[in-house]
Structure 1
């Protein structure tokens, strides 16, 4: 039982590794339009990668919960959790954004002039995620609340993008096919992960309503948003999380 939380953490890492394989092996084929050949990527494996990030998020939530319930928290478990998170919620989202940028550039008339330098900004996400996680392990201020947006929130947000594009709720796919929108999203996510902004921790440590109402409000908003917004509920709740963290003093959210 002492290794149960570590097993869940390794399950998180396993999901992240499989998600990377899905993204890397998304099959490509050549299609011809108006006499011009284009390389088309089959998006289905990327959707599976998104689902695996969600599963990794569930495992990441329960590994800490189990460790606290069983009283088996350890420095090794903390380090292992960060190593798993940097893959599942850093590398995988970076690769998803890389694919989305590549797809967006495919819509441009100068698509054949695009180099990997145009797509490289997507890989800043895993870099900033690694920095954020390393700082978290050393920062004693983050025992009761976070400083900067936690990497699982970023990972789950980015994982929703391919699914939003698939179902195209509220025509949001149009925005996710715009290279400048994607660049802005990348810049904002990188900034929010390392910003000196106190963010609400979603860990329930007591039954005190005065302390837990921001967490409960986020849960209610999420449950209300899912049947209305579907996969677009992910960016909606992400924005609510950031805004609520800005307006609620950290002590009340701890």
Structure 2
């Protein structure tokens, strides 16, 4: 049983690798609409499966933490292994999604075949900043017991993983296709996520740093919004919950920390 946390972590890494394989296998090509018009088409079914396996990786990431705490099996090896798995599942795999979406955005423009491949490489900044976020967390985890300093990389990975689902499961209120084909929106999304991950902004953990409704209200509200919004908004509820998570993290009143602890962060 003592190996259960590491098994869950390896499952996280395994699912992250499968997600990358599906995302890379998603075809993106030009189809003829008539003799003069062409339109880029992205193979969203494979992207959908990539998002599904990122979600499974996130589930395993939750389970390994629960198993480690329940069994008292925390270790330096387990912590480092968890970081290595997270950078693949929530850094590299989401970067591949952004890479594909950026490629599609450029293919929709005039002169698409002349679009430089380097224009899509900012997508991989997600993996780079996510790795930096994880390395910093490993050095300061003792000072982040009540909150995260900077947005956790799984949150960034999940919001990116939701993007293909926004197109696959059409939302009756808003059509996200045009937004997802806008290269400037994608660049902005990468910049915002990278900034949030390495910022010193305090972010909520899934376990509140106290007892009672006054401590748990953000988690309760986020869960209610997720459950109530899914039937109406479908996967568009994920970006909504993500925005609320950022807002609640900023306005939440965290327990007081000593000046020495703050200085170490």
Unaligned runs of 5+ in 2: 257-265
Superposed, 1:171-182 pairs within 5 Å as 171-182=175-186
Alignment correspondent of 1:228: 232
User: What's the secondary structure of 2:144's corresponding residue?
Assistant: helix
Distance 2:13 2:116 in 1: 31
Distance 1:6 1:18 in 2: 18
Unaligned runs of 5+ in 1: none
CA contact (8 A) 2:169 2:234 kept: no
The alignment of Structure 1 onto Structure 2 pairs a total of residues equal to 252
Is 1:143–2:145 an aligned residue pair? yes
Deviation at 1:32, TM superposition (A): 3.5
Bigger shift: residues 191-200 or 104-113: 104-113
CA contact (8 A) 1:9 1:63 kept: yes
TM-score (norm: length of structure 2): 0.89
Distance 2:27 2:111 in 1: 23
Alignment correspondent of 1:156: 158
Deviation at 1:135, TM superposition (A): 0.5
Alignment correspondent of 1:51: 52
User: What's the secondary structure of 2:31's corresponding residue?
Assistant: strand
**RMSD over aligned Cα atoms:** 1.9
User: What's the secondary structure of 1:171's corresponding residue?
Assistant: coil
User: What's the secondary structure of 1:251's corresponding residue?
Assistant: coil
1:39-72 Cα offsets, whole Å, 9 max, x none, are 7542211110000011111111111011111211
Structure 1: 4+ residue segments shifted above 6 A: 36-39
Superposed, 1:92-241 pairs within 5 Å as 92-139=93-140, 140-169=142-171, 170-203=174-207, 207-241=211-245
Deviation at 1:37, TM superposition (A): 7.0
Deviation at 1:168, TM superposition (A): 3.0
1:156-204 Cα offsets, whole Å, 9 max, x none, are 1111100101223111222111111111111101111111100001125
CA contact (8 A) 2:13 2:57 kept: yes
Alignment correspondent of 1:83: 84
Distance 1:204 1:248 in 2: 11
Distance 2:194 2:87 in 1: 13
Bigger shift: residues 32-41 or 164-173: 32-41
CA contact (8 A) 1:16 1:92 kept: yes
Distance 1:75 1:32 in 2: 55
CA contact (8 A) 2:39 2:108 kept: no
Deviation at 1:26, TM superposition (A): 2.2
Deviation at 1:38, TM superposition (A): 7.2
CA contact (8 A) 1:199 1:250 kept: no
Bigger shift: residues 73-82 or 5-14: 73-82
TM-score (norm: length of structure 1): 0.93
Specify whether residues 188 and 92 from structure 1 end up closer, same or farther in structure 2 by C-alpha distance, changes over 3 A only: same
